[in-house]
Each structure stands twice: as structure tokens, then as C-alpha cells.
Structure 1
Amino acid sequence: MANTNQTTEPQPSLNKMKLAIPDDSDKNAQTKQGLEVEVFDYSKRAQWLRAAVLGANDGLLSTASLMMGVGAVRDDVKTMILTGIAGLVAGACGMAIGEFVSVYSQYEIEVAQMKRENSIMTRNALEDKKRGLPDPLQAAVASALSFAMGAAVPLLAAAFVKDYKLRLGLVVGNVSFALLGFGGLGAVMGGAPVVKSSLRVLVGGWLAMGVTFGLTKLVSSSGM
């Protein structure tokens, strides 16, 4: 005889069942949030990086080109080294002063624009916005130091070499490696293509040294 007291538990209706299905929108939001954390704003480095890279390249190219120009007409090491030192000092001072004046002018223009656009801005709010502007002194120091560092490369390459042809070759070789290094460093720190940037800097350096050497040699041979 069947047990009439036996009760059966109600089965859950399929219509009422809730499945924990992951929401793709949540995944996308989390992914986007993760990407936002990982992305670095390279524009924050733009001001001092630009000054440092330009200073180093100018130090390399201008000093090496001066030394190559003098080497085209004089084969003694003393004249070449003195020319390089004069180029280093003059170039570092010129880069620092020029960068300071340029960036400070930009700073003044942007501050004046802020004041015109925000006439009711409080003093504290204006000071906070000023902190985000480029620093003229930082740019000047970066330019001077990087120029001197770049200019030291050809000077050190030529300082202890007596042979004329070997000295010129070492200057060109060392400057070429330094140009590749500075170009690659600037590309990495700025998030740009490394190979393309390095080769562009290298070819420009060869062109500058070659033109200076050739024109100086031409002027000297003409008897001027």
C-alpha cells in the first residue's frame, strides 16, 4: 500500500531559475579600467625630455662639427681640443639661456591667458594651474647639462690621440654611437619608434659633420 503521507518537494520552475551569467559589460569596464591604470602619459615628460634630448644632440653635433672643421685645416690635437672646449662652454651657456627665455616667454603667455579666461578664479586655483606649466629653470638646466654631456663625447675621443687620421676617425665613430644612443633613449622615454628615431638622428649627425668638414676644407684650399 502506498504511503499517502509521503510528500514531494516542489521542483524549481525553469522560469524562476536565475543563472549567474557574467556580464560582458562588467568585463569590458574592468578591462578598460585596467588599461587606464597601465597607460603612461608621456606628455608629462615632454618639456624636460625635449630640452634634454635637444641639448645632448646639439652638444654632440655642434662640438664634433667644430672639431671636424678645424681638423680639416689643422692636424694638431691642441687646436682641436681647444676648439671643442670653447664650443662646449659657449654652446651650454647659449642653450641654457635660450631655453630659459623661450620657456619663460611661453609660461608668461599661458599665465596671462589663464587670467583672461578666469577673471573670477581664486588665487589658490590660479597657483594650482601654474604648477602644471613648464618650468623655465628646469628646462634651462636640462639643456645646459645635456649639451655638456654630449659635447664631452668628441672631446674625450680626441684628447689622447696624436695621429691625425685616427683622431678624426675616432671622433666620427664615437659621435655616431652616441647619436644612436641618445636617439634611442629619447625614443624610449618618449614612446616613439626606437629604430626610426635613432637612424634619423644618426644620418643628421653625419650630414652636419660632413658638410662642416667639406666646406671648411674648400674655403681653406681656396686661399681665403
Structure 2
Amino acid sequence: MEIPHVGTERHLVHRSQWLRAAVLGANDGIVSTASLVLGVAAAGSSRSAIVTAGIAGLVAGAMSMAAGEYVSVSSQRDTEQADLEKERRELERNPEGELHELTGMFVERGVRPEIAAEVARDLTASDALGAHAAEELGIDAEGLARPFQAAWASAVSFSLGAIIPLLAISLAPSGARSIVTIVATVVALFALGVLGARIGGAGWPKPAARVVTWGLAAMGITMAIGAIVGTAV
């Protein structure tokens, strides 16, 4: 009988998680930057002022995303390391009790007691901490969260998303800045909605519609505020 390639399946799961994070970061970049430049444009600002505001928003947003992700993932990693250290001490203090605990977990899942005991012994002999981390804590002891990697990925995905509306409003003719930016943003959001749905294995129409709807709402509100402020000033 052919043995499943577990490593490949695990890799695909991790890749899916990173893709979801990248899609969310890009979505934030598109919506926030498009809303910002459209709001500034609605206030009657010059092209240079609009582009300057867009670049500032891109940099600030990317740094904010990176900082937030770094803090969040660092906290997660600290918690995981603390749990692993606690489990390591328990294994040193009471190895037999931990073996029985691991056996009981497999029995609760429907494995026959004698087989559960054999599997628990084999896993303990191979990697006791790794086995308990995975089965009891739901942690991959060899794949703890990486704060710098998460921060970098968030900043890059946000920046790539933000570039789309920024380029659109920078290159569009003066009389068509807003409409060109809105169209480019809607197309990008629709594509991201479809991609996110595909990654999650769901149908794409509703997710894509939700992303586009919220994007249009954000752009509409900031354009209205920009127009009001521009008129008042």
C-alpha cells in the first residue's frame, strides 16, 4: 500500500495560511490607500499632493501592519514557548503519567486501547515533547511562529496592494482620476476576493461581492468627507 506523503500535505496547509495572510494584507493596502487618495482628490488637491498623501499612506500602513503583526506573532510565540517548557518539565517529572495521558488522548479519538498504548510508546520514544506538543497543545514544536517573517510578509503584501490605486491615480488623466482609481480598485478587490475564496476552498461570488462592497463603501465615505472638507476650506 502506498504511504501518503504527510510532509507535502503539511506544507500545503502552511502555504495556505500564509496565502490567506497575504491576501488580507493586500486587501488592506488596496482599500486604505484607495480611500485615502480618493478622499484627498475629492478635496480638490493637486496631483503632487495626492501622490504624496498616497505614498505617506503606503509607508505608514506597511509599517503599521508590520509592527502589529510582529507584536501579535511574538506574543503567540512567547505563549507557545512557555507551553512547551511547561510540557518539557512535566515529561521530566512524570514520564509515565504523560505516557498514560497521551494514550488516553488516542483512546478518546476512537483508537483501541492496546493500539493507542503502542502508538503512544512509539511517539514518546521518537519525540516525546513533539508528540505532546502536537496532540495536547496543538503546537508544532519544530515550526513555532516567526515574528520577523510574519512582519515582513504583512508589510510587503500591504505595499503591493497599495501600489495599485496609487499608480492608478498617479497615471490617470486629471479629469478621470477618481473613476480610473475606483475601477482599478474594484478589479483588484474582486480578484483578491476570488483568490481568497479559492484558497479557502469556497465558492467565489459571495466573498468577492463582500470585498468589493466594503471597498466601495470605504471609498465612498472618504470621497464624501474629502468633498465636504474641500468645500469648507
TM-score norm. by structure 2 comes to 0.71
For residues 33-182 of structure 1, the aligned pairs below 5 Å read 43-45=13-15, 47-121=17-91, 129-164=140-175, 166-182=176-192
2:223 is aligned to 213
SS of the residue corresponding to residue 130 of structure 1 reads coil
Higher radius of gyration, 1 or 2: 1
Residues 144/132 of structure 1: CA separation in 2 closer, same or farther (3 Å cut): same
**Identity over aligned pairs, percent:** 43
Deviation at 1:48, TM superposition (A): 1.9
Which of residues 175, 186, 194 in structure 1 aligns to 2:204?
A: 194
8 A Cα contact 2:16 2:199, kept in partner? no
Aligned partners of 2:23 and 2:183: how far apart in 1? 20
Residues 75/202 of structure 1: CA separation in 2 closer, same or farther (3 Å cut): same
Residues 219/75 of structure 1: CA separation in 2 closer, same or farther (3 Å cut): closer
Higher relative contact order (CA 8 A, sep 6+): 2
TM-score norm. by structure 1 comes to 0.73
More deviation, 134-143/97-106: 134-143
Deviation at 1:134, TM superposition (A): 2.5
Gaps of 5+ in 1: 1-29
Aligned partners of 1:101 and 1:125: how far apart in 2? 30
8 A Cα contact 2:87 2:129, kept in partner? no
Over the residues paired in the alignment, what is the CA RMSD in angstroms? Answer: 2.8
Residues 197-218 of structure 1 show CA distances to partners (whole Å, capped at 9, x for unaligned) of: 1111111100111111112322
Paired residues in the alignment total: 189
Gaps of 5+ in 2: 93-126, 134-139
Aligned partners of 1:221 and 1:121: how far apart in 2? 70
8 A Cα contact 1:73 1:217, kept in partner? yes
Residues 38-62 of structure 1 show CA distances to partners (whole Å, capped at 9, x for unaligned) of: x956643454233211210111011
More deviation, 183-192/194-203: 183-192
Residues 11-36 of structure 1 show CA distances to partners (whole Å, capped at 9, x for unaligned) of: xxxxxxxxxxxxxxxxxxx9xx9999
Deviation at 1:126, TM superposition (A): 5.2
8 A Cα contact 1:68 1:213, kept in partner? yes
SS of the residue corresponding to residue 197 of structure 2 reads helix
